[in-house]
Amino acid sequence: MRAHPILLGMLLVIPSVALAAPAHAGERCFDLSTPLVAPPRASLPLPTAGGDASAAGARGDVVWAQRRGVVRRPIEKLRAYLEDPRHFKDQQVDEMTVAPMPTGPLLKHHQVHSLVRPFPLVTVEWTDEWSTSLLAGSRDRPDAVLIAYQKVAGTSYIARFCGTLVLTRIDEQTTDVAQFEEATITGRSHDDMKQGLADMLATLRALP
């Protein structure tokens, strides 16, 4: 699994001139300098008969997708994986730097700057911001956390990109994972995003 399959996939089809994006689409989704108490869209009900719940749609030029399911891995393992930027560096990214941000009441806060040279004389750069908020439990033993991410600067080819993962401890070896993601990207549908979330859950389930 790669952190931003949408972002990286778009680099293969970037035209030689910038795409114009609606002004509202460039706005940030969150204020990640303070803890978040809930995802931007209510999580889907957790299926009682196994499998995952999923949904997708669009509002104007913004497409979104959701997914929720059980991952039989400890919440600590999933959190450690998702908070490590090294797991999100695709081979198409030529340079990546991580800048820690003030944590304050947050559990984790950093920015990731990525640079790609997809074609000769073409450079694409963007910066993502990530934070982890405590929803339940204690800082030493969280029982629920909300990991949020968003593009905050860089290429206009991707006007908007953000998402959340809510991890909730079911027991010591099992975690409820609720995902949400939305974006404004030319050529990407909500079905593409829906598949991306499915791939992310599959990766988490395959962790050793």
Report the candidate in 207, 208, 204, 183 with the shortest Cα–Cα distance to residue 52. Answer: 204
Give the number of domains in the chain: 1
- Amino acid present at 71: V
Any domain includes 110:
no
Range of the domain at 139: 51-82+131-205
Any domain includes 92:
no
d(CA 1, CA 106): 25
**DSSP notation for the chain:** --S-HHHHHHGGG--SSPPP--GGGGS-S--TTS--SS-SSPPPPPPSSSS-EEEEEEETTEEEEEEEEEESS-HHHHHHHHT-GGGG--TT-SEEEEEE---TTSSEEEEEEEEEEEETTEEEEEEEEEEEEEEEE-SSSEEEEEEEEEEEEE-TTEEEEEEEEEEEEEETTEEEEEEEEEEEETT--HHHHHHHHHHHHHHHHT--
Any domain includes 166:
yes
Neighbours of 11 (CB within 10 A): 19
Neighbours of 73 (CB within 10 A): 19
Report the candidate in 1, 165, 2 with the shortest Cα–Cα distance to residue 75. Answer: 165
Any domain includes 4:
no
64 within 8 A of 41, measured Cβ to Cβ:
yes
130 within 8 A of 112, measured Cβ to Cβ:
yes
Any domain includes 201:
yes
- The CATH number linked to 63 is 3.30.530
- Amino acid present at 63: V
Q: How confident is the prediction along the chain (208 residues), in pLDDT tens digits per residue?
A: 344 544 555 444 443 333 233 333 456 899 999 999 999 889 999 988 889 999 999 988 899 999 999 999 999 999 999 999 888 777 788 999 999 999 999 999 999 999 999 888 888 888 999 999 999 999 999 999 999 999 999 888 788 899 999 999 999 999 999 999 999 876 778 888 899 999 999 999 999 9
Q: What is the chain's alpha carbon radius of gyration, rounded to the nearest angstrom?
A: 17
Any domain includes 113:
no
Any domain includes 61:
yes
C-alpha dihedral, 32 to 69 to 88 to 99, nearest 10°: 20
∠ CA 85-185-123, nearest 5°, is 60
Non-local CB neighbours of 41 within 8 Å, separated by 6+ positions: 64, 66, 180
Any domain includes 186:
yes
Q: What is the pLDDT of residue 181?
A: 94
